Structure 1
Amino acid sequence: MTIEATAPHAGVHRRLRKKAAENVGLNSAAGHLLLVLLSLVCLFPVYWMVATSLRPANAIFESSLWPSSMSLDNYIYALNAIPILRMLGNTLLIAVVVTIIQLFTGLLAAYAFARWRFPFDKLVYTGVALTWLVPFQVVMIPNYLLVAKLGLLDSITALILPHFASALAILLLAQAMRSFPREVIEAARMDGARSWRILWEVMMPNLRGTIASLAILIFISTWNEYFWPLLLSRTAENTVVQIGIQMFMTAEGNQWGPLMAASTMASLPVLIIYVVLQRQVIQSFMKSGIR
């Protein structure tokens, strides 16, 4: 009787497990299909940009997915019309310098907030956090007046100057340092290490993942900066590639071929960074808490 009573229950359990596995498989397949469709939607504008940049002038408005004929004339025209290589160099220089400076100042400030106690430290930390909520466009005019008084208009220095510190860098690094094991820091202090050595030789090597993610986020954000260079720049030689792209948009009409060629050249470095460092890029957006 026991065997006869147990056998049907075992069969029912097997059928339920099989059905559950089938449901999981269907849900997984549906999820992957949705992700593929969303990926195609996201990648299609990039593909259309590249395809349009390769179309000759007489076929620029073709609606076919694949160009009927390909030409590099748009790239040649873009390179001759504006100093785009100089602009790309300026953009790369600004992005690299801003990334290094913001990481350096962020590490120093974050260590102070995470490991030191001083009067009104929480108030100062709250003030830094609140500055992150203020859009840069709000302080553009005061910064412009300051740069003008310093005589730095239309210069690479002026494009870097307002970005010496980042509230985002300070907040992320401070949170990472607060979760750092205190035992390790105390052991370093017992060995005679002071704060400077603890920061650079103990904490920083163990925060490489966070620092790398933050560096990628700062670099991409600086590379895509548009409004501040638009306000300061006067000559094409001292501006960034985003302003160069805008030069192909005039009141007489948009030069779509060269515009897409310049956009492709401007997007290529960031796309390469994303392909090479995809995991770190995703982690940087997750840790920053923004899109």
Structure 2
Amino acid sequence: MTTDALSAPTTGFAVRPRRRARRLGNSPAFGHVLMALLSIFCLFPVYWMVVTSFRPANAIFETSLLPTSGSLENYIYALNAIPVAQMLVNTLVVSAAVTVIQLATGLFAAYAFARWRFPFDKAIYALVALTWLVPFQVVMIPNYLIVARLGLLDSIVALILPNFASALAIMLLYQTMRSFPREVIEAARMDGARSWRILWDVLTPNLRGILASLAILIFISTWNEYFWPLLLTRSAENSVIQIGIQMFMTSEGTQWGPLMAASTMASLPILAIYIVLQRQVIQSFMKSGIR
């Protein structure tokens, strides 16, 4: 009796904090506060980059959150040091071309794997899926030799050529097409529709969500590509903005002001895309996973 009487209040006292912690964790206000703190944590590097880009050279290493003085000298220096506009255009052309080409080849390949039967189709699909696990750095040298023998070094075409197909796009579209109702496709075939018409008129309109998600992922990944353009390009006029940013980092030191200014200008198109297509960007990472 004495032991039970002493243990009862202690048990009740231990349960109450747990209930309070569960209620606090399940409350919407706690979730909103947590997300706000995480958002500030994630956005702070972007904010610091923009603020540093406006600091003059004598105040570049200030630690104040707000700049004591603002100047456009870093942007002027960056625009004069490298062809920023041309590099941004090159990056945009390469990213858009790679996105369109990979979506097209992904659609064709996924439709073939999902709706056609041919010898060794499963083995070929497994090989395609395995290529996604191979880092691009492994095949970079063979691709470089092919591009060099074609005489395409230091050109925009060379940046696009090795990226004609994406295993990620093929796999995601393949899984989506496999789950598409067969009755709809059979009805289209009974109406006389061929494979081309089924793909474009029946399947593609119902794949807008996954196509938009893939387009965003491919575009952002190509925009941020660095190693392949570094290996191929020789002149700044035929290079991309990521190589231009690296030009401010030399063995003599890093020019932090122009570097931050160029990084800000390179980030503006991606930030604009994210603001406009925020929902699709989030869905793309939810569907495909963070790479």
Q: Output the TM-score relative to the length of structure 1.
A: 0.91
Contact 2:51 2:67 in 1 (8 A): yes
Contact 2:77 2:258 in 1 (8 A): yes
5+ residue gaps, structure 1? 1-18
1:121-270 matched pairs, under 5 angstroms: 121-270=121-270
Answering whether residue 39 of structure 2 is matched by residue 39 of structure 1, we say yes
Give the letter for the 2:232 counterpart: L
Give the letter for the 1:126 counterpart: A
2 CA distance for matches of 1:32 and 1:123? 48
1 CA distance for matches of 2:198 and 2:135? 34
Aligned to 2:278: 278
Aligned to 1:9: none
Aligned to 1:94: 94
Question: Could you list the per-position Cα deviations for residues 190-230 of structure 1 after superposition, in whole angstroms to 9, with x for gaps in the alignment?
Answer: 11100000000110001100100100000000000000000
1:18-97 matched pairs, under 5 angstroms: 23=23, 27-97=27-97
- What is the DSSP-based 3-state SS (H/G/I as helix, E as strand, rest coil) of the residue aligned with 1:145? helix
**CA distance change for structure 1 residues 97 and 24 in 2, over 3 Å: closer, same or farther?**
same
C-alpha displacement at 1:29, in angstroms?
Answer: 2.5
C-alpha displacement at 1:285, in angstroms?
Answer: 1.1
- What is the DSSP-based 3-state SS (H/G/I as helix, E as strand, rest coil) of the residue aligned with 1:192? coil
1 CA distance for matches of 2:68 and 2:282? 36
Identity of aligned residues (%): 79
C-alpha displacement at 1:26, in angstroms?
Answer: 5.7
1 CA distance for matches of 2:23 and 2:254? 52
C-alpha displacement at 1:289, in angstroms?
Answer: 2.2
- What is the DSSP-based 3-state SS (H/G/I as helix, E as strand, rest coil) of the residue aligned with 2:87? helix
2 CA distance for matches of 1:242 and 1:26? 43
Q: Indicate the RMSD between aligned Cα atoms, in angstroms.
A: 1.7
1 CA distance for matches of 2:152 and 2:280? 35
**CA distance change for structure 1 residues 128 and 42 in 2, over 3 Å: closer, same or farther?**
same
1:108-123 matched pairs, under 5 angstroms: 108-123=108-123
C-alpha displacement at 1:25, in angstroms?
Answer: 7.5
1 CA distance for matches of 2:25 and 2:159? 52
C-alpha displacement at 1:24, in angstroms?
Answer: 6.2
Aligned to 1:3: none
C-alpha displacement at 1:27, in angstroms?
Answer: 3.6
C-alpha displacement at 1:255, in angstroms?
Answer: 0.6
Give the letter for the 1:83 counterpart: P
Contact 2:90 2:156 in 1 (8 A): yes
2 CA distance for matches of 1:54 and 1:74? 7
C-alpha displacement at 1:36, in angstroms?
Answer: 1.4
Aligned to 1:5: none
C-alpha displacement at 1:283, in angstroms?
Answer: 1.0
Give the letter for the 1:152 counterpart: L
Give the letter for the 1:272 counterpart: A
2 CA distance for matches of 1:284 and 1:109? 20
Give the letter for the 1:145 counterpart: L
Contact 2:24 2:30 in 1 (8 A): no
- What is the DSSP-based 3-state SS (H/G/I as helix, E as strand, rest coil) of the residue aligned with 1:101? helix
2 CA distance for matches of 1:99 and 1:23? 46
C-alpha displacement at 1:51, in angstroms?
Answer: 0.2
C-alpha displacement at 1:37, in angstroms?
Answer: 1.3
C-alpha displacement at 1:58, in angstroms?
Answer: 1.3
C-alpha displacement at 1:288, in angstroms?
Answer: 1.2
2 CA distance for matches of 1:165 and 1:246? 28
C-alpha displacement at 1:30, in angstroms?
Answer: 2.4
Give the letter for the 1:203 counterpart: L
Give the letter for the 2:160 counterpart: I
1 CA distance for matches of 2:197 and 2:55? 57
Question: Could you list the per-position Cα deviations for residues 84-124 of structure 1 after superposition, in whole angstroms to 9, with x for gaps in the alignment?
Answer: 11000000000000000000000000000110111100000
C-alpha displacement at 1:232, in angstroms?
Answer: 0.6
- What is the DSSP-based 3-state SS (H/G/I as helix, E as strand, rest coil) of the residue aligned with 1:137? coil
